[in-house]
């Protein structure tokens, strides 16, 4: 690894150059940061990379694979070029908070393998406060209160974390190259592969909401893919004998429940399929709780 780079920030991008510029502007100008931008075959009519202010800086690298395989593939390209001791992931439409620079200084030489940070969230256009960060922050608080690190398996986004590069490299961890939830298995594997984890109270990352983003609306196709990915992560945990699979079971069920808001028949079908796929270790309590939630939701329709 390049001794001058302590941090490698990997950012996949597609067709949102103005938001990418906002993200880049939020990254401190430091010689110990390597910025890796991987463009997922953007439309050349929408993106002019020559206009980016950081393009000519020695610590910023642009890669342009033409396969168009999505954010998971783009992140894997970034991993191949990362040189820092710490890996930091960001989405191109999100940005870092002002305290990010102080956190870089504070944790540069930390001996843990994963450091979890608080986040906040805003509407991408209006910058009005949103709620997308609350579930992640609540999980971090719950872990701190109970010391139940099994819950960390549910913190699936790669952002809001510092992850030791050696942890990923030595275990050959990569992102799944799928349209949705490419980060679930990666986060599952990194989380359970080490006990050297801590939680910081620093709020370093801002998640944004966009109605046209992949997470803006839940469709049947998206729910099906997310459930499939959650199933694969759950079976991975079962294979290595980790009880965290119980939480990943819940993760899959929650996506089924969420789908009821737009297509309850499809949601029910996916839920039954999920239970069949997981029949070796699905918990009766989970199914019972799900059915209760379903009945309450149906009354509101």
pLDDT in tens, the chain (301 residues): 445 899 999 999 999 999 998 999 999 999 999 999 999 988 888 888 777 656 656 789 999 888 878 999 999 999 999 999 999 999 999 999 999 999 999 999 999 999 999 999 999 999 998 988 888 899 999 999 999 998 898 888 999 999 999 999 999 999 999 888 899 999 999 999 999 999 999 999 999 998 766 554 556 667 667 777 877 887 888 888 886 655 555 555 555 555 555 555 655 565 565 555 554 444 454 555 555 655 665 555 4
pLDDT number for residue 149: 92
According to the model, what pLDDT value does residue 233 have?
A: 83
Q: Does residue 255 sit within a domain?
A: yes
Q: Are residues 167 and 228 in the same domain?
A: no
pLDDT of residue 279: 46
User: What pLDDT was estimated at residue 73?
Assistant: 94
Q: Which of 98, 111, 82 is nearest to 9 (CA)?
A: 82
18 and 146 assigned to the same domain:
yes
Q: Are residues 185 and 240 in the same domain?
A: no
* Number of structural domains in the chain: 2
Confidence at residue 27, expressed as pLDDT on a 0 to 100 scale: 95
Q: Are 156 and 274 within one domain?
A: no
**How many alpha carbons lie under 13 Å from residue 182 in its C-beta half-sphere?**
18
Question: Helix, strand or coil for residue 236?
Answer: helix
Which pLDDT does position 219 carry in this prediction? 62
Whether residue 193 sits in one domain with residue 242: no
What pLDDT, on a 0 to 100 scale, did the predictor assign at position 117? 98
pLDDT at 1: 46
Q: What is the CATH number of the domain that holds 17?
A: 3.90.550.10
The range of the structural domain enclosing residue 167 comes to 7-209
Nearest in space to 134 (alpha carbons), one of 117, 115, 118, 146: 118
Predicted pLDDT of residue 283 = 46
Q: Are residues 183 and 262 in the same domain?
A: no
**The residue count for the chain:** 301
CA distance 15 to 45: 9
Q: What is the pLDDT of residue 38?
A: 94
Return phi, psi of residue 51, to 5°. -85, -5
The residues near 28 (Cβ < 8 Å, ≥ 6 apart) are 100, 101, 104
Residue 215 belongs to some domain of the structure: no
Is 2 inside a domain boundary? no
């Amino acid at each position: 690894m390049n001794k001058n780079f302590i941090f490698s920030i990997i950012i996949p991008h597609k067709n949102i150059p103005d938001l990418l510029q906002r993200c880049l502007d939020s990254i401190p100008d430091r010689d110990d940061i390597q910025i890796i931008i991987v463009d997922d075959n953007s439309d050349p009519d929408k993106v002019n990379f020559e206009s980016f202010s950081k393009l000519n800086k020695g610590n910023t690298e642009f890669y342009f694979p033409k396969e168009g395989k999505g954010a998971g593939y783009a992140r894997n390209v970034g991993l191949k070029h990362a040189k820092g001791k710490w890996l930091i992931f960001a989405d191109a439409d999100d940005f870092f908070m002002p305290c990010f620079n102080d956190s870089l200084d504070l944790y540069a030489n930390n001996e843990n393998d994963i450091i979890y940070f608080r986040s906040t969230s805003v509407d991408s256009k209006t910058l009005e406060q949103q709620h997308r960060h609350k579930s992640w922050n609540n999980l971090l608080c719950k872990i701190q209160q109970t010391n139940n690190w099994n819950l960390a398996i549910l913190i699936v986004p790669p952002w809001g974390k510092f992850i030791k590069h050696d942890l990923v490299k030595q275990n050959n961890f990569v992102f799944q190259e799928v349209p949705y939830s490419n980060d679930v298995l990666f986060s599952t594997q990194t989380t359970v592969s080490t006990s050297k984890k801590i939680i910081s109270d620093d709020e370093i990352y801002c998640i944004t909401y966009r109605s046209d983003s992949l997470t803006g609306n839940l469709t049947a196709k998206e729910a099906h893919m997310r459930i499939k990915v959650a199933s694969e992560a759950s079976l991975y945990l079962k294979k290595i004998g980790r009880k965290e699979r119980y939480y990943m079971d819940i993760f899959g069920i929650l996506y089924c429940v969420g789908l009821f808001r737009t297509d309850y028949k499809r949601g029910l079908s996916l839920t039954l399929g999920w239970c069949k796929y997981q029949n070796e270790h699905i918990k009766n309590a989970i199914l019972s709780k799900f059915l209760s939630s379903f009945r309450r939701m149906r009354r509101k329709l």
